[in-house]
Amino acid sequence: MTYESLSKLFYKDSSSDRFERNAVLAKARRQADSSFLLGMKNENGEELFFSMPRELAVLSEAVLCREREISDSLSTLPGIARSALVRNLVISEVVSTNQLEGIHSTRKQINDLLEGADSPSEPAAQKRFRELAKLYMGLSDPRGFSRPEAPEDIRLIYDRVMDGENLGGDAPDGRLFRKNAVEVIGAGGKVLHEGLMPEEAIVGALSSMLSLVNSPDVPGLMAAIAAHYIFEYVHPFYDGNGRTGRYLLALHLSRPLSQLTALSLSRAIADSKAAYYRAFKDAENPLNHGEITTFMICMMEYLSSAQVALLDDLGSNAGRLREAEIALRKVEEERDLTSKQVDVLFVLVQSSLFAAFPDVSLADLALAVGLTRQGARPHVKELEKLGLVVATSQKPLRFALAEEARRLLSLS
């Protein structure tokens, strides 16, 4: 039997005492041994909580088991492919999280920002999204941006997420967050949600959120999702809550799950965002008395679908990589290639299959094959003469597999 929210059960109940029955069931769910209290009260003074029904337990088990499959698939890839895959996922995640806010950005724009060097003299508008992309890149680096421990840390993360944005009157005007009211407006100008007030309440709620994600008494996966609900419920800023909240969710998910899964969630939500907003709105219904279990189930379903899509891509491209590697040995013999030329081609194969864009700079090619740029250039030039490599850019100098190489390596 599908787990139903208290509000849905209430609307199904036509009895004259349905309000009393709703309150009794809410109390029973809240006090159940399988329920977790979240340490924060909603606007009705009821502490938020979630239960662990069968659906949530099964989804959680499936997600955690699938992590081993992802880890096994990733371990079969060479280093260049792994790095390219992570960068590709970061680019997609930034584009998707912007898309959810109705903000246009392109994969090429984000890729160029990650490759470009930050300069103090660079106009702010040209730096837009760079810090957000770098934050997501940090999820795959143990030395990346640390998890927030206090509300002040959340403000620092927000400043990086919104770097380059022209906030104008939407800039935070309180000590850390906003000091005035904010509304989330949906289609047709309908108010979907009102953020918590005043700023002292925001600080207190975010402190509770951080205690939750660091609690040893709540499973890390569940705590990360529940903390995401709290952040979006609080809505501590006038603008940028969605992007900041989804980054924090990815950051907290990267502890119990792989970085690859954490970097795939915004895309899954963007593909079916209506369900996300419905689940959030339903959780706010006063008839649910602070229970967010159905929201938790919805988010776990997003995680599950993100993992399935990720594994499909990994399996498909890993198989194509193995076939290309075998074909490359045949090309090596037929074209009398040197070992370094083969190495160059193999780097470009990995980029073609796993990177956001198939071309690689001469500098990165040289680094990947263990040469200086001057040392790599003759090998690349010879591959150009053989019609296996083509220059895609002169400044900076970038190369990709030529169509002939793609045909020989079954990549066309």
Catalytic residues: 235
Nearest CA to 362 out of 371, 353, 350, 349 is that of: 371
- Asked if the peptide bond before residue 198 counts as cis, ω within 30 degrees of 0, the response is yes
In three-state secondary structure terms, 291 is: strand
- Is 45 assigned to a binding site? no
Length reported for the chain:
412
- Is 241 assigned to a binding site? yes
- Is 243 assigned to a binding site? yes
Query: Which tokens is 306 given?
Result: 């993100």
d(C-alpha 207, C-alpha 406), whole Å: 54
- Is 290 assigned to a binding site? no
State which H helix or E strand residue 13 sits in.
none
- Is 76 assigned to a binding site? no
In three-state secondary structure terms, 355 is: coil
Nearest CA to 357 out of 366, 365, 348 is that of: 348
Question: 290, 2 in Cβ contact below 8 A?
Answer: no
- Is 169 assigned to a binding site? no
Q: Is 279 exposed, middle or buried (0-12, 13-18, 19+ CB in 10 A)?
A: buried
- Is 13 assigned to a binding site? no
Question: 39, 284 in Cβ contact below 8 A?
Answer: no
Q: Which long-range contacts (CB under 8 A, 24 or more apart) does 276-283 make?
A: 276/302, 277/186, 277/192, 280/193, 280/229, 280/232, 281/192, 281/193, 282/5, 282/7, 282/8, 283/5, 283/229
- Is 246 assigned to a binding site? yes
Question: 134, 113 in Cβ contact below 8 A?
Answer: no
Cite the annotated binding site for ATP by residue number: 239-246
Cite the annotated binding site by residue number: 239-246
